Structure 1
Amino acid sequence: MQLPLMRLDDEVEIHPARKLLGTVDAVLVAGGRDFVTAQTDALDLGFDGIAGDHHRGVSRRSGGREPWYPRGTEMRNERQLSIVAADELAIVAGRMDLSELRPEWIGANMVIGGVPGLSMLPAGTLLFFSGGVTLKVDGQNVPCRIAGRSIADHARMPDREAGALLFPKVARRLRGIVAWVEKPGRIASGEKVSVRIPEQWIYRT
């Protein structure tokens, strides 16, 4: 019997693992009835996410991002934290003709500085915070019209629905990332964060 041919590693373009260093510029929590956040001094995190936050939970209900499940299906909560970068939000604000786009308006829980292309960090990236917490990146946070309406309301855009539609168009791959708690503890504003990007490749087979 003929054995299948073995593929060699040099036939696949593999990018080695990398380490970067960033800073926690702000931490925020959604303590009200919706996803809009407010700045605070520190976040207390358990395996279920941020204490008192709107998105806290070991599980969550599926929505439009998971069309393979009936809406409302209970599933693991891999979106416990929303993390953004100020430089990327500035680009989105410019594309929306706004003077600013505050992280609170789109429900961000953390602003990290010093990491180029934050939104492009791949799934599986580990974030090690100097205070002891570890977060694991699930992937990009896809912009939606709900966040767009929040921006339109807070920025007092003359056409609320136009703002809601514009945000998903101009913020793709700039809206930050979502992550879940791998090791709980407390994250304070001003902490350092070690970003460990795993080995990467493109699956083409």
Structure 2
Amino acid sequence: MSQASLPVLHLPAITKPRRIEAQVAGLYRTTGEGFETVPVDRLDLGYDGIAGDRHGGVTRKSGGREPWYPRGTEMRNERQLSILAPDELSAIAADMGIAELRPEWIGGNLLVEGIAQLSWLPPRTLLFFANGVTLKIDGDNTPCRFAGRSIAEKVGGGTDVEFGFVQAAKKRRGLVAWVERPGTISAGESFKAHLPEQWIYQG
């Protein structure tokens, strides 16, 4: 193929990297095998996430979110932490017609303030906490009936609430992340979100 016949490559529009300052509004963890979390003053994090937490571990077993593997296949755990925002929880509750939606009911670990549309932060975003912890965002957390059932147990409504949560929480159910640099996160701690360059692949 001659040089003249090679296709012309047009670069997509690229959004520059940016930084957002934010703050930890609440911390939570599981206390046993249950799905729900309880408030704590600090989270001690290792490379396996929160030690002893239901979602801790360097690896995890695949489930319905990974249909390309047989269920139960051991894989990298990119879902060590669930990160939520108060404004998104309030919007979900309003759409569901319930008075409130607490982070604990849906297994949240970090409640953060200061980032608009938290659930839309892109994968590869890094969260640098003041005391040294770094978390890496894997992506948005897809809402499921399991979390909806937990809400229904608190407010009533049965399967209407289960399915209602799945619809109301789309693209605002927060993020999942894993520990890139371990340490301790404390309630009220500040952090900076470093967003990478972003573009739409059109190959």
- Give the C-alpha shift of residue 161 in structure 1: 1.3
Where 1:15 maps in the other structure, the secondary structure is: coil
- Give the C-alpha shift of residue 160 in structure 1: 1.3
Separation in structure 2 between the aligned mates of residue 148 and residue 94 of structure 1, nearest angstrom: 15
TM-score for both structures, normalised by structure 2? 0.97
Give 1:148's aligned residue: 148
- Give the C-alpha shift of residue 174 in structure 1: 0.6
Give 2:21's aligned residue: 21
Give 1:192's aligned residue: 190
Of all paired residues, the percent bearing the same amino acid is 53
* Matches for 1:47-196 after TM superposition, within 5 Å: 47-155=47-155, 157=156, 159-196=157-194
Where 1:153 maps in the other structure, the secondary structure is: helix
Separation in structure 1 between the aligned mates of residue 64 and residue 158 of structure 2, nearest angstrom: 21
The aligned amino acid for 2:61 is: R
Contact 1:43-1:51 at 8 Å conserved across structures: no
Give 2:201's aligned residue: 203
Give 2:44's aligned residue: 44
- Give the C-alpha shift of residue 116 in structure 1: 0.6
- Give the C-alpha shift of residue 188 in structure 1: 0.4
The aligned amino acid for 2:106 is: I
Where 1:190 maps in the other structure, the secondary structure is: coil
Where 2:91 maps in the other structure, the secondary structure is: helix
Separation in structure 2 between the aligned mates of residue 137 and residue 33 of structure 1, nearest angstrom: 24
- Give the C-alpha shift of residue 52 in structure 1: 2.1
Give 1:7's aligned residue: 9
The aligned amino acid for 1:102 is: R
Separation in structure 2 between the aligned mates of residue 24 and residue 6 of structure 1, nearest angstrom: 47
The aligned amino acid for 2:7 is: L
Gapped regions of structure 2 (runs ≥ 5): none
Contact 1:27-1:189 at 8 Å conserved across structures: yes
The aligned amino acid for 1:111 is: L
- Give the C-alpha shift of residue 8 in structure 1: 4.3
The aligned amino acid for 1:42 is: R
The aligned amino acid for 1:104 is: E
Separation in structure 1 between the aligned mates of residue 40 and residue 9 of structure 2, nearest angstrom: 51
Q: Give structure 1 regions of 4+ aligned residues with deviation exceeding 3 angstroms.
A: none
Where 2:191 maps in the other structure, the secondary structure is: strand
- Give the C-alpha shift of residue 41 in structure 1: 0.4
Where 1:78 maps in the other structure, the secondary structure is: coil
- Give the C-alpha shift of residue 6 in structure 1: 4.8
User: What is the Cα-based RMSD across aligned positions, in Å?
Assistant: 0.9
Contact 1:59-1:75 at 8 Å conserved across structures: yes
Where 1:71 maps in the other structure, the secondary structure is: coil
The aligned amino acid for 2:188 is: G
Q: Deviations over 1:137-171 (max 9, x none)?
A: 0000000000000001012x1x3111111111111
- Give the C-alpha shift of residue 5 in structure 1: 3.2
Separation in structure 2 between the aligned mates of residue 116 and residue 94 of structure 1, nearest angstrom: 18
TM-score for both structures, normalised by structure 1? 0.96
Where 2:31 maps in the other structure, the secondary structure is: coil
Where 2:104 maps in the other structure, the secondary structure is: helix
The aligned amino acid for 2:108 is: A
Separation in structure 2 between the aligned mates of residue 178 and residue 63 of structure 1, nearest angstrom: 15
